[in-house]
Each structure stands twice: as structure tokens, then as C-alpha cells.
Amino acid sequence: MEGFNGEKVIEEFEAMTKDAERVQRECLEKILEKNSSAEYLQNLGLNGRTDTESYKTFVPLVTHKELEPYIQRIVDGDSSPVLTGKPITTISLSSGTTQGRPKFVPFNDELVETTMQIYKTSFAFRNREFPVGNGKALQFIYSSKQFKTKGGLAARTATTNVFRSSQFKNTMKAIQSPCCSPDEVIFGPDFHQSLYCHLLCGLIFREEIQLISSTFAHSILHAFRRFELVWEELCADIRTGSLSSRITVPSIRTAMSKLLRPNPELADLIYNKCSGLSNWYGLIPEMFPNSKYIYGIMTGSMEPYLKKLRHYAGEVPLLSADYGSSEGWIGANINPKLPPELATYVVLPDIGYFEFLPLNNSNGDQDQDNTEATFLYVDPKPVGLTEVKVGEEYEIILTNNAGLYRYRLGDVVKVTGFYNSTPILKFVRRSNLLLTVNIDKNTEKDLQLAVEEAAKLLAGEKLEVVDFTSNVDLSTEPGHYVIFWELNGEGSEEVLSECCNRLDQSFVDAGYVSSRKVNSIGALELRIVRRGTFQKILDHFLALGGAVSQFKSPRYVGSANSVVLQILCSNVVKSYFSTAFK
């Protein structure tokens, strides 16, 4: 596209990945030189050293808990070099879906730059396989609520920090189709009104839409589920050229009035297409006939949404976006033709310093609250980026440009190969999402597979699982798993009872099966919640300052997420206990 040389970006990527060890060493040196005056590093006795061995000797592995006192000082207005040489002026908020509350994470311009590098790299490879023209993009992106901390720093989600940056706007103009929605919609204060207007803008520019995207697959699916409910109202807006009364934010109404004109022909076209769709299959290509692909993060906790998203997408391919977190980016998806379930990521060796802790999953341990899992390691020493072994699983340790040093990210990845000398990673799970009561250890992926297997029984009643989560109930003796399901309709007692049994039988972990047989783990409980319960959970996180484009349904809800657990429990309409092991 104009102003963007994809082949040059790929050439630079090739050169960098051929000498990843040197690039990593230089990356660490730059980070440490720039932040040598930081109190944190000074207190550890690093004394300006920038070599890898000294760094690993003097600087310990940490989690957010250990850095929290330093970050809190920054949040409260300490402008001295606490974690970084230059003062931190912006704070990112993590999604907060795992621990129940957002974490404060330091953010600076260097993180924006690494974000743009990831975007450019993946787009260069993506555009080789799925070239887009000079049309527009339907992007379901939203700003989070932002506030000033006690010390006067702007605090908002990591995605909002990126979206608000001039680098993001300039990069997006250069590398892909511009968003069809005006900034007033993206940065509107009311998510529901912004979503409605995103859909309306997409329909107005339907012939020009080249791609459909959001940060996470959940946001895209949520948008089209909403479309099913409001499509007739959208048609009425287009027919008359006047915006629905549901849009009350003046800035959004003003911006939309510049786009909306009476267009009865388009309204009739959309109305007829929607009326003719069978169960909304292929909705996306019907509405946006020139869309080349659907793009967003689709791995990990997003995988359960892929089946329904494919239903809407028809023949339009789903492409998984890059691999990162609120703390920083890790790798780019340079093989976009792989289906999302098989997506892998090549680590960019110059965007941060990476270490990897080898995991021995057979010797895990976990606290009672089930929100923090720790592991014993085959080798207590983390290995460098180029020292990982194919086929092994590791926890990622990140050192970034914004004051995080040897930070345990909590992500477990598997090395599937090497691209030149830098590893190719497949995301496996979050290390702190384990279901366990006794000697059982079931991961987020195990939960997902069990839900998918049990949900097959719903097909006969034309039902589907809208969303799900889990809990371990230790108030009973013995403790047992609790699975929460929201369905799109009412299921029969017989089928739901059988779903409960199938869930129980689908956890194949040997520790779980043996514990169930001797009743050291109680019967699995399936709780059906009211329609709209997961929307209430989303609304709760939005109220905490989150953005819907950064929202991930928590797959495990423990006591740290007490409000969410209360929302779930207060909306239970039916409950079933498994009889599978009797």
C-alpha cells in the first residue's frame, strides 16, 4: 500500500532473525544503559553493568507483586528514576479478567514503537497472502474509560494507549485500510452506542470494507451477535438518513450525521439479505461482499468463540493476530494462512529481552485460591531466546523498555521450531489457570475441550453455549468442579443432565479420573445461568475502566474475582450434578 514497503520490512526481519543472539544482547544493553539510573536496578547492585551474565546474577525473577510497590510510587506521582531513567507518564491497565481487578503497568513511547514494529511485520507477511486494496476496515475498537492517578498520570488500557498515539494513526494509514468509523465513535464514552455506530458505518461503506478486525475475537463475535438484534433498526436509520434515538452522545451524533444520508435502496438490500439468511450463516460476506479476512487474537481463551465466528464468516478466512500482553509484545504471526487453532508466533529479538523457564508440568503446585499456579522446574535457570528446545514448554520471562525486568509473564508456550535463529512459539495456556482439587491438574485448554465435547449434545435441540467459565467449590467435602454455562435458549432436563455427565467424563487428566473414581473429588456440577449473565460480567469490567476490545471472559473465577462469582451465582437458573462415576 502507499507509503509502506512490505518487502523491505521482511528483508529487515530476515536479517534480524538470522542473528537473534547478538540482537538480544544488544537489546538488553540498550535497555540497561537507558535505565542505569533507575533506583530498582541500583538497589540490586547492578551499578551500570549491561552484560547478560551480570544482569542474570544481580536481577531476580519477579512477578507483578514484587514490582507493585515501585509501580505504586510512580502512580502516586514519584517522578524520580524509580524503574526507568526517564519518568513514566502513562499507565496501562491490564484487562483484569484473571485476578478480578486491573493491574497497573508502566507504559511509554518505546512500547508504542515496538507495537508498530509488530504491526508492520505481521502486515507485511499477511499482505503477501491476503492483499487488501484502498478500501476501508470495519474495526471494532473502543477506548476505555481513562482517569488521572493520584500523581496525575493518565491511566487507561494498553490498547487505548496505543489507539490514542499518533504513531498508531500514522502506521495504520500506511499499512492497511483506514477504519470506516470516525474517531468520535472509537473514543466515545458509551460502548453500546459506539458498537451500534461501528455496525452502521460498516453498512454505509459495505462495498468498501476490505477487512474486519478487533483486538480479540470475542469483540467481533459480540458485535455480530448484537447485529442480529438491531439490524432492522440499522436499516431504518439508513432508509431515513436519521440516526436512532438510542445514540445520545452529542459528539457521536454530530460525527455520524456527516456520514448518514437517506438511502432506501441500500436499506432494502440489507433488509432482503438479512431476511434471507438461514440462521445467520455467512452474515459477514453477505453484508460485506469484498471483505478479504477477519483479523484478531484468536488463540488461548478466544478459541471457544471460533466455531460461532466461522458460522458468521462463511468462506471468509479467520486470521489470528500477533502475540502480546499488556506488559509488551512477544511475537508476530508471519504464517497467516494457518488456521487460528494452529497459529504460531516468531519472536522479534529486538523488541525486548526474553528468557524462558523450562516447565515440568508433572510437579506443579498451587495455592488454595486456585488463582496462582507455580511450577517446579527441570532446570532452575531460565534459558535464553536461542537456547530453547523444540517440543519443550516454557514460561516467558520478559524485560521490556518500560521498567519491567525479568518479569514472569505467566504465559506458557511451546517451541514448535525456529525461524532462522529465533524460536517459533505456540501459545499453550496461562500458567495460573488450573482447575485442581486433589492431584488433578486441568488447564484452560482441558476445560475448553471438555466444554466442546459436552456441547455436542446440544446440537439436537439447536442450542449452543454462548459462554462459559469455571470454579472449584471447596465448601463441600470433597471439593468439586463447577462449570457455568450460558445458553442461547432453554435445554431439556434430559439433555442438560447428560451434558453434565459428559463434562465430567471429558476431563481425561489421570489425577482427575482416579480421584473421581474413589470420590476424593466430588461430582462435577453444571450450573446454567440466565441469558445476558456474561454481558453483566463484561459490564462489570467496563465499569472498572476496561475496554471491550481488551475483554476476555475469565475461564476460572476464584475468590479474587468475588464480584464476578456473585454475578454468576445470583443468575443460576438450573443446576445438575454428574452421575458419571457412580
Is 130 in contact with 1 (CB distance < 8 Å)?
no
Amino acid type, 390:
V
The whole-number pLDDT of residue 368 equals 34
Considering the chain, what is the average pLDDT of its residues? Answer: 88
Q: Could you give the percent of the chain with pLDDT greater than 90?
A: 60
pLDDT digits (tens, 9 = 90+) for 198-239: 999 999 999 999 999 998 898 899 999 999 999 999 999 999
Confidence tier at 66 by pLDDT (50, 70, 90): very high
SS3 string, 535-567, reads HHHHHHHHHCCCCHHHCCCCCCCCHHHHHHHHH
Span 112-126, mean pLDDT?
90
pLDDT digits (tens, 9 = 90+) for 378-414: 446 899 999 999 999 999 999 999 999 999 998 899 9
Span 496-523, mean pLDDT?
90
The whole-number pLDDT of residue 291 equals 95
pLDDT at residue 372 greater than cutoff 70: no
CA of 282: how far to CAs of 92, 266, 276, 405, 431, in Å?
Answer: 37, 19, 11, 46, 36
CA of 146: how far to CAs of 152, 187, 328, in Å?
Answer: 12, 11, 20
The whole-number pLDDT of residue 433 equals 64
Confidence tier at 541 by pLDDT (50, 70, 90): confident
Span 160-185, mean pLDDT?
77
pLDDT digits (tens, 9 = 90+) for 554-566: 888 887 778 899 9
Q: Which residue has the higher pLDDT, 478 or 361?
A: 478
The whole-number pLDDT of residue 203 equals 97
Span 165-179, mean pLDDT?
73
Span 69-84, mean pLDDT?
92
pLDDT digits (tens, 9 = 90+) for 265-319: 999 999 999 998 888 999 999 999 999 999 999 988 788 889 899 999 999 999 9
pLDDT at residue 264 greater than cutoff 50: yes
pLDDT at residue 374 greater than cutoff 50: no
Which range has the worst mean pLDDT, 84-98, 130-144, 220-234, 514-528?
84-98
pTM of the model: 0.81
pLDDT at residue 142 greater than cutoff 90: no
Confidence tier at 101 by pLDDT (50, 70, 90): low
pLDDT at residue 568 greater than cutoff 90: yes
pLDDT at residue 375 greater than cutoff 60: no
The whole-number pLDDT of residue 363 equals 35
The whole-number pLDDT of residue 538 equals 87
The whole-number pLDDT of residue 174 equals 67
CA distance 376 to 558: 23
Confidence tier at 148 by pLDDT (50, 70, 90): confident
The whole-number pLDDT of residue 99 equals 54
Confidence tier at 138 by pLDDT (50, 70, 90): very high
Which range has the worst mean pLDDT, 166-180, 216-230, 514-528?
166-180
pLDDT at residue 139 greater than cutoff 70: yes
The whole-number pLDDT of residue 360 equals 67
Query: Quick one: 536 exposed, middle or buried, by C-beta within 10 A (0-12, 13-18, 19+)?
Result: middle
Which range has the worst mean pLDDT, 123-137, 161-175, 281-295?
161-175
Q: Which residue has the higher pLDDT, 16 or 435?
A: 16
pLDDT digits (tens, 9 = 90+) for 44-56: 999 899 999 999 9
Is 143 in contact with 163 (CB distance < 8 Å)?
yes
Contacts of residue 140, defined as CB under 8 A and 6 or more positions apart, other chains included, come to 195, 198, 212, 213, 214, 219, 220, 222, 223, 549
pLDDT digits (tens, 9 = 90+) for 332-371: 999 999 999 999 999 999 999 999 999 864 333 333 333 3
Looking at the DSSP bridge assignments, the partners of residue 429 are 412
The whole-number pLDDT of residue 3 equals 66
Q: Could you give the percent of the chain with pLDDT greater than 70?
A: 92
SS3 string, 38-55, reads CHHHHHCCCCCCCCHHHH
Span 487-508, mean pLDDT?
93
Matching residue, cell 509484545: 329
Report the chain's C-alpha Rg in angstroms.
Answer: 24
How many CA atoms lie less than 13 Å away from 287 in the CB half-sphere? 27
The whole-number pLDDT of residue 45 equals 92
